[in-house]
Structure 1
């Protein structure tokens, strides 16, 4: 008897499936749009490769690009969704990663939000150094073990792990996933919360949903790494990707102290550009009269030190 595959779902069973006619409509819209791709997200003027490599005591967050961050906490080096790929499908990467792979310190933990190729790139993972434990959504472990990776732990929403003095929890998101023709939603998706002397909420990839309030009620969060890009056209993308205005709304619902935007400027996954996403975010931040010290916009390769 053929085994029935588990298919994971969003809250309220929100579906991200789109019809062929939807895809055609988006394709026609995209051909009509004129976008300036000459202006890109800048690289940091100061990159602290040596300090990062030697650091085993101070808390830091470095934006490498897209959804990839190096988080240093409690003496551990943690990478989120490590992707150094130069192409994504037919699209060439728009901005270089903020840290070359060869300049990374040894990695202790990799957190994967979901299986889409712009968040899980085995070409990158093969080149990481360190005795790495991979924390992945339920259904993705076999994708790692069949490639020879042994330290792989799977999680459903709200599952928690202790790792060398820190606590890691997999939390809900509103998204979907697929790596091949027949495996749509056979692995889960979500965000990760790291709790130690500082707490970090890596949101992953998501549309706006009620889960942000629930996460804010369950956790005390210092830094939220919040996606703001790949939202246009919104009639097509809203179920899966949050726009800048809703990203701020979600951030406020988490009751986090500081928002660090991500998921913009590296790949052209939708019709918006990185500068457009930032402009909309700043405009909404100003409209709401939010404190400037609660927003930390990092340049690519820039490191935030919490000393």
Structure 2
């Protein structure tokens, strides 16, 4: 019998056919402006990125994909360059083309949903990456021909080329085929370098795990999802709202908030600009320091 993974406190996100019908009926009644999109960075630092092996940097490719350059390693989070997601066209082009990437040393996968794990993208990556994946997923990677794969459970850690990599909980679910629901886990990744600690949250609803993570790690920079939350009665368990993402950031006691998971694919009823507007409004309402929020254009690099 296959292992089926669960959330903390056994929080369930199972939805009924009736729930799906209700959501679809609501969606038909909404009018959304899909002509306004998240802007591309006007000054991309492609050559600097290609040559960089010493300076800490991060670049938002789009959605949940970042290129992190940490202690000489090139790390990709949830690499997805797909032009479509299901029946929907990608709304914004990736910030850097696959051809312009440097050789990749490490890839981390938060979970198996197609907007976070795209094998056609992985086939095109330069270099010979080492893959870190949630428990239950290694067999799929081996089947696809990948050998450098390490499977990790929640709270497990591994040191790779001087960087400590930790797999931490998230509140979500996963599925790639009809009968494989939750047969692999989901979570976030924390990278501890010689100078800073980075937390890639992955895909999650708001949950008590943020407090536990805060008790174990001192986070400098958190890459936090803010999109795919509408309708909230349907999505809240597995997709955090902009307001709750700020609440989570405060609980984490992190130094900087970098929003992600918005503006590339239409996975729910909200739009990228709507998610960002709600985030900025909540940040202002709580009078949080402006310098702690780093909103990136697509393709923008911070060095």
- TM-score, normalised to structure 1's length? 0.98
Q: 1:173 maps to what in 2?
A: 170
Give the alignment of 1:1-307 within 5 angstroms. 4-196=1-193, 197-305=195-303
Mapped partners of 1:238, 1:174: distance in 2: 10
Report deviation, 1:198: 1.5
- Residues 31-61 of structure 1 show CA distances to partners (whole Å, capped at 9, x for unaligned) of 0000000000000011011000000000001
- Structure 1 unmatched ranges of 5 or more: none
Report deviation, 1:12: 1.1
SS of 2:213's partner is helix
Mapped partners of 1:215, 1:75: distance in 2: 26
- TM-score, normalised to structure 2's length? 0.99
Report deviation, 1:242: 0.1
Mapped partners of 1:58, 1:188: distance in 2: 33
SS of 2:207's partner is coil
Report deviation, 1:131: 1.8
- Residues 57-87 of structure 1 show CA distances to partners (whole Å, capped at 9, x for unaligned) of 0000100000000000000000000000000
Mapped partners of 2:37, 2:167: distance in 1: 32
Mapped partners of 2:126, 2:114: distance in 1: 21
- Residues 97-143 of structure 1 show CA distances to partners (whole Å, capped at 9, x for unaligned) of 00000000000000000000000000100000112100000001011
SS of 1:24's partner is helix
Runs of 4+ in 1 over 3 A off after TM superposition: none
Report deviation, 1:94: 0.2
- Residues 214-263 of structure 1 show CA distances to partners (whole Å, capped at 9, x for unaligned) of 10110011100000000000000000000000000001111110000000
Mapped partners of 1:19, 1:147: distance in 2: 32
Mapped partners of 1:83, 1:131: distance in 2: 17
SS of 1:245's partner is helix
SS of 2:245's partner is helix
Q: Give the number of equivalent residue pairs.
A: 302
Mapped partners of 2:249, 2:127: distance in 1: 33
